Amino acid sequence: MTHSAPPKTGQAAPKGAAEPQVRTVRVPADRAGQRLDNFLLGQLKGAPRSLVYKLVRSGQVRVNGGRAKAERKLEDGDEVRIPPVRLAEAGDRPTPPRGLLDALEAAIVFEDARLLALNKPSGLASHGGSGISHGAIESLRALRPGQTLELVHRLDRDTSGLLVVAKKRSALTELQALMREDGGITKRYLALLTGRMPDGVMTVDAPLHIGLRQGGERHVQVNPAGKPSLSHFRVLERRGGQSYCEVRIETGRTHQIRVHAQHIGHPIAGDDKYGEAEANKRLRDQAGLKRLFLHASTLEFALDGGKAPYLLNAPLAPELVDVLDRLG
């Protein structure tokens, strides 16, 4: 079911290109449970996430004839109205620099027929968006033209470590279902927390709420009205008065580890959003820490209904190893 309409959003189409049209797409069974924003990103290849959110907020996207929120979970047979959007042809988009592609090729820590796991460097966004031309997924697609590659999850831009990409739709669906299950995927991070944490495991059970600051920047805080969030911090060793910890999370909220660390009075070293400016400056001067000391180190899960176990590891980034060495 397709209707013509004048284009409203996006970039100018090349001369001779067909006018984009309103489309109504029926959600197939294998997309049931997918969020509306992620479904739209799959339909509007190359569209920045900021544009997708704008289309949803303005009511140009409809589900079964009504307005919907970006986080709505779609059901089999839902009808999604997709407005006309002109996007630059694939050949018109700038190619990621060769140096970035080579670095990403070297950063692949695991690959089989279903999955690819990347040890994402700090400073690289998981996907492109407003002001970001090349995220990890766009760069991987440029590295592997013709392959189907879909992000299974995201990492903060400043966080390094394991980023898993599905090469098959079946793997993506199963992994996303595991992420929604309690204990479906075990996620462990390595972090340097400022100050001396107590021995043993400290469990933080504190709900998190995402708010917006002036300018649209997301800021997360502990709030009883927020979503349940659970993190377990365990000190591995102490270096220079700081605590090097393993963090296991049972939920995957935005900025969860960073806000929970701040909540217990031991923010993550190098965190310029939730951390302590004086402590960050001291660690920069003493140990050369110039980034957030948070690294996604381990993911453990099983596909095929538990028959195919995976244990993925990404070694700590060299610049973070250097910081630990300098702290003695």
Single out the residue of 55, 70, 46 nearest to residue 22, CA to CA: 55
Determine the pLDDT at residue 38: 86
Task: Flag residues of the chain having pLDDT under 70.
Answer: 1-20, 87-94, 129-133, 213-216
- pLDDT at position 134: 74
In whole numbers, what is the pLDDT of the chain averaged over residues? 87
* pLDDT tens per residue, range 173-208: 999 899 888 789 999 999 999 999 999 999 999 999
- pLDDT for 87 equals 65
Q: Is 156 a catalytic residue?
A: yes
Give me the pLDDT at residue 217, please.
72
Say which of 37, 78, 92, 156 is annotated catalytic: 156
pLDDT digits (tens, 9 = 90+) for 18-34: 556 889 999 988 788 88
Query: Can you give the pLDDT at residue 3?
Result: 43
Instruction: Give residue 93's pLDDT.
Output: 56
Q: pTM for this one?
A: 0.74
Q: Under 8 Å CB-to-CB from 103, ≥6 apart: which residues?
A: 121
Contact 259, 223 (CB under 8 A): no
Please name the residues in contact with 257: beta carbons below 8 A apart, sequence gap of 6 or more. 189, 191, 231, 247, 249, 268, 294
Res 44: pLDDT? 85
178 backbone dihedrals φ, ψ, rounded to 5°: -60, -35
